[in-house]
């Protein structure tokens, strides 16, 4: 019997090819942004996503970046090299590692331009999966959710090291050390050196030194995630841990200009790998370039030209660092205003955490029920764990946010006293 060329499939096969594709539950941060946009209330307040806005709720157009835009012009943009714009890459090395860094001077740092720090961590994960496989990746608990996802996508299992003690609102440093000491040697450890997302808590210099010694003794691999340089204590201060670490050991450093250049949509990031010697750095750079080529071929142009223009021009650089200082000062002002507004409506709520935490976020550490109550009752949107983006707080919203936080804090006290 002749089989017809296009015989109908048996019933079981007639389902769509993609019929078994599972739905995506949504991203915890971008999903909230969608909910915020869909919320019809006029007086809703978005403190969920990590974006800096000025007092009017707008992402600032920095004057330094505006001047750079005039300088780079509007001509056609050819492909950048796979590793990115050369002047951008060298500027990244200077801003991260400093002018006098030995590893940079000895050409031991392999640096590529990436699509934001997310792209940098993604390429780092691919690189490590290929060249340092079969290890566990440790991320802080809590952390930015995508740390888990990016390493899991590359095939790693992720585990957590303790970073938050809800009772003391501090880093449980002994438990952090124990966890990493008990990890199998050669683990990959993701470290946020300043302005920790979400807790705003950073290690002291003594703690950094202890952690560094442990990392080296255990031959763990550090992956630093630097997304907020300049928002904590200052440009040099916020990467001091990275610089001290790179003086002692090889490491990877993912970097983002999204926040400190207010260039969110341009996706300006970088990945640096500090190597043992120049030959190793050359080979590592080759493998990073290969990973880029296989993933998206070459990075985008405009943002890199803007950042390079600002960082390589002494006048624009000074102007940018002053603009960044003003952004940081606005965080301090809003922090004080929120503490004062809370104090005006409650004598019981402890606001000490606001001053102790640094960077764009404050972490009142709320339950899911409390976060949902704030959203439903007051239109105040906070991210997971109650992460509050201080950098998006406008003066006109301070009182509402204070009242909303106090309502939850006092509700929790009342429930405890029942």
DSSP 295-319: HTSS--SHHHHHHHHHHHSHHHHHH
Structure token pair of residue 105: 């001077």
Q: How far is the CB of 54 from ligand LMR (least distance, A)?
A: 18
The contact pattern for ligand LMR, residues 122-141, with x = CB under 6 A and - = no contact, is --------------------
For ligand LMR, give the closer residue by CB, 275 or 371: 371
For ligand LMR, give the closer residue by CB, 29 or 290: 29
- The active-site residue out of 144, 164, 202, 378 is 144
Classify 129 as helix, strand or coil: helix
Any catalytic annotation for residue 74? no
Q: How far is the CB of 372 from ligand LMR (least distance, A)?
A: 19
Query: Distance from first CA to last CA of the chain, Å, rounded?
Result: 82
Taking residue 210's Cβ as centre, other Cβ atoms within 10 Å add up to: 15
Nearest to 378 by CA among 358, 399, 348: 399
Q: Which of residues 143-172 bind ligand LMR (CB under 6 A)?
A: 144
Q: How far is the CB of 29 from ligand LMR (least distance, A)?
A: 4
Any catalytic annotation for residue 145? no
Taking residue 367's Cβ as centre, other Cβ atoms within 10 Å add up to: 12
- Which residues, in sequence order, are bridge partners of residue 188? 137, 221
Residue 362 near residue 200, CB atoms below 8 Å: yes
User: Is 1 exposed, middle or buried (CB count within 10 Å of its CB: 0-12, 13-18, 19+)?
Assistant: exposed
Any catalytic annotation for residue 320? no
For ligand LMR, give the closer residue by CB, 50 or 230: 50
For ligand LMR, give the closer residue by CB, 239 or 316: 239
Q: Which residue is nearest to ligand LMR (CB)?
A: 50
Q: How far is the CB of 389 from ligand LMR (least distance, A)?
A: 7
**Would you count residue 29 as binding ligand LMR (CB under 6 A)?**
yes
For ligand LMR, give the closer residue by CB, 144 or 161: 144
User: What is the C-alpha to C-alpha distance for residues 137 and 47, in angstroms, rounded to an integer?
Assistant: 29
**Would you count residue 192 as binding ligand LMR (CB under 6 A)?**
no
How many chain residues are in contact with ligand LMR, going by CB under 6 A? 5
User: What is the C-alpha to C-alpha distance for residues 44 and 69, in angstroms, rounded to an integer?
Assistant: 34
Residue 113 near residue 269, CB atoms below 8 Å: yes
Q: How far is the CB of 51 from ligand LMR (least distance, A)?
A: 7
Among 114, 197, 301, 404, binds ligand LMR (CB under 6 A): 197
Spell out the residues 6+ positions from residue 351 whose beta carbon is closer than 8 angstroms to its own: 338, 339, 342, 343
Q: How far is the CB of 197 from ligand LMR (least distance, A)?
A: 6
**Would you count residue 119 as binding ligand LMR (CB under 6 A)?**
no
Among 35, 44, 49, 87, binds ligand LMR (CB under 6 A): 49
Among 47, 50, 309, 404, binds ligand LMR (CB under 6 A): 50
State the Cα torsion 380-167-201-215 to the nearest 10°. Answer: -140
For ligand LMR, give the closer residue by CB, 141 or 399: 141
Which residues are the active-site residues? 144, 225, 259
Residues that bind ligand LMR (CB under 6 A): 29, 49-50, 144, 197
């Amino acid at each position: 019997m002749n089989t017809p060329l296009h015989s109908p499939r048996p019933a079981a096969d007639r389902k769509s090819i993609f019929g078994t594709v599972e739905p995506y539950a949504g991203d915890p941060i971008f999903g909230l942004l969608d909910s915020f946009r869909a919320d019809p209330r006029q007086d809703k307040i978005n403190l969920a996503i990590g974006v800096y806005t000025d007092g009017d709720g707008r992402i600032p157009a920095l004057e330094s970046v505006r001047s750079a835009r005039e300088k780079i012009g509007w001509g056609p943009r050819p492909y950048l090299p796979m590793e990115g714009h050369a002047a951008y890459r060298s500027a990244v090395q200077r801003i991260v590692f400093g002018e006098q860094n030995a590893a940079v001077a000895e050409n031991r740092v392999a640096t590529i331009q990436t699509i934001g720090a997310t792209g940098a961590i993604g390429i780092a994960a691919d690189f490590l999966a290929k060249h340092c496989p079969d290890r566990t990746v440790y991320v802080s608990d809590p952390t930015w959710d995508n740390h888990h996802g990016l390493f899991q996508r590359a095939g790693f299992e992720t585990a957590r090291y303790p970073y938050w003690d809800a009772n003391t609102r501090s880093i449980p440093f002994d438990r952090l050390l124990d966890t990493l000491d008990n990890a199998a040697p050669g683990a990959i450890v993701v470290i946020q050196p300043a302005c920790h997302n979400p807790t705003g808590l950073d290690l002291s210099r003594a703690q950094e030194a202890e952690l560094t010694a442990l990392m080296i003794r255990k031959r763990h691999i550090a992956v630093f995630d630097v997304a907020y340089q300049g928002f904590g204590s200052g440009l040099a201060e916020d990467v001091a841990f990275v610089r001290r670490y790179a003086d002692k050991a090889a490491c990877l450093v993912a970097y983002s200009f999204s926040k400190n250049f207010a260039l969110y949509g341009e996706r300006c990031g970088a990945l640096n790998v500090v190597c043992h010697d120049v030959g190793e750095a050359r080979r590592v750079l080759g493998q990073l370039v290969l990973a880029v080529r296989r993933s998206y071929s070459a990075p985008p142009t405009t943002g890199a030209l803007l950042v390079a223009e600002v960082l390589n021009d002494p006048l624009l650089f000074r102007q940018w660092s002053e603009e960044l200082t003003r952004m940081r000062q606005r965080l301090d002002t809003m922090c004080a205003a929120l503490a004062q507004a809370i104090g005006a409506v409650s004598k019981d709520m402890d606001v000490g955490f606001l001053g102790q935490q640094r960077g764009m976020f404050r972490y009142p550490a709320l339950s899911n029920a409390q976060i949902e109550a704030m959203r439903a009752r007051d239109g105040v949107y906070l991210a997971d764990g109650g992460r509050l983006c201080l950098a998006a707080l406008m003066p006109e919203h301070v009182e509402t946010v204070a009242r909303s936080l106090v309502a939850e804090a006092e509700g929790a006290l009342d429930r405890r006293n029942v």
